[in-house]
Homo-oligomer: A and B are copies of this chain.
Amino acid sequence: MTDARKARLGLPQPNMADVARHAGVAIGTVSNTLNNPEKVREPTRRRVLASIDALGFVRNDAARSLAAGSSDTVGIVLVDMGNSFFVDIARGAEATLREHGMNLLIANSDIEIEKQLSYLEVFEQARVAGILLAPLDPHITKSLVSKAVSRPLVLVNYAPEDAQYAGVVADEHHGGYIAARHLIELGRRNLVFAGGPFQLQAVAERLAGVRRAVGETAGTVLSLVETTGMNISHGRTAGERIIAQEEHVDGVVAASDLVAIGIIQVLEQQPDLRIPEDIAVVGYDNNHFASESTTPVTTISQPGEEMGRAAAELLIAEIRGDGGAEKRTVVLRPHLIPRRSTIGTASPADLQNHTA
């Protein structure tokens, strides 16, 4: 039947047996030339390779990983591919994985918990070597992940509370801190923190960092503008509320670049307001367009690629170590990229940071 089918369809996907026959060797030798080249003598190896080429053979990975019990591709589930932060994470992870001869397949859960689970299951079913997960909602995630997943798994951008999984996170608190410090060092004393909702873990931590910086410097005051989300439009709303505010404001820490951009858009329309002279604004994330808006936005750069690399390292360790190791959480520090929205055109050196 098999041969009949092959004949009928022409030449559909030759297999190792075909290659072996063509090369006049045993099937095991073909497997070896591919997986353990050192076990095959040069002439034989060349002959097999030639046959593979002649027949256009491509090894069936389903069969391979079924027989070998392991695969060399890892999957990553990203909450939002539209966010360059996550794209950076994927890039970093891929680079490291590649150095170890592994491949990265990406799934976009698009901020839908259902899709997240669905793709987790896809990777699970595919018996990938391991899974990287940038989860949607920490709490929902925790229970569900353990339910569906039995592959090695590393969390990215979320600190697991239990020691069930290894993870990589950015130090949000530190990010908020250096953002506020930057403004304070520029002489600003009446700060606003804008963003939200505050229940979001990341937002809350950034705010805590800001609070610490403010608390450290006497005479500095902080007011809060909570938004229902972190997009441009939310930023505009925040901007209007900042303008409406009674107190004089001279510095803003926005919880995201989009919020910062929205705020800047609104502030710039006020004829008597200049940025950064009157109000300096710091964003967060270093979204690729934060440097690209007409008033480049000073921002806290998430160490996306590094996080991806670190996550990949952890995952590889788990894969190798057979789950034995302790589940570490690596914390990476973001850094500040000064741009025009806080330092104006003062220092031309800031241009160098645009590519950071």
A→B interface (CB under 8 Å): 12-13, 56, 58-66, 71, 73, 75, 81-82, 84, 87, 90-91, 94, 103-108, 110, 118-119, 121-122, 124-127, 147-148, 150, 232, 258, 261, 264-265, 268, 287-289, 291-295
Contact = CB atoms under 8 A, between A and B. Distances in A.
B103 A106 contact: no
Given A87-B108, A232-B291, A268-B294, 12 more contacts: A56-B147, A60-B127, A61-B122, A61-B126, A66-B66, A81-B81, A81-B91, A82-B87, A91-B110, A103-B118, A106-B107, A288-B289
Contacts of A265: 294
Given A82-B84, A268-B294, A103 B124 contact: no
Q: How many copies does the complex hold?
A: 2
14 contacts: A13-B150, A56-B150, A58-B121, A62-B65, A81-B87, A81-B91, A91-B108, A94-B108, A105-B105, A105-B106, A126-B126, A232-B291, A289-B292, A294-B294
A13 B108 CA distance: 26
A211 B121 CA distance: 51
A61 to B, nearest CB: 4
A293 B289 contact: yes
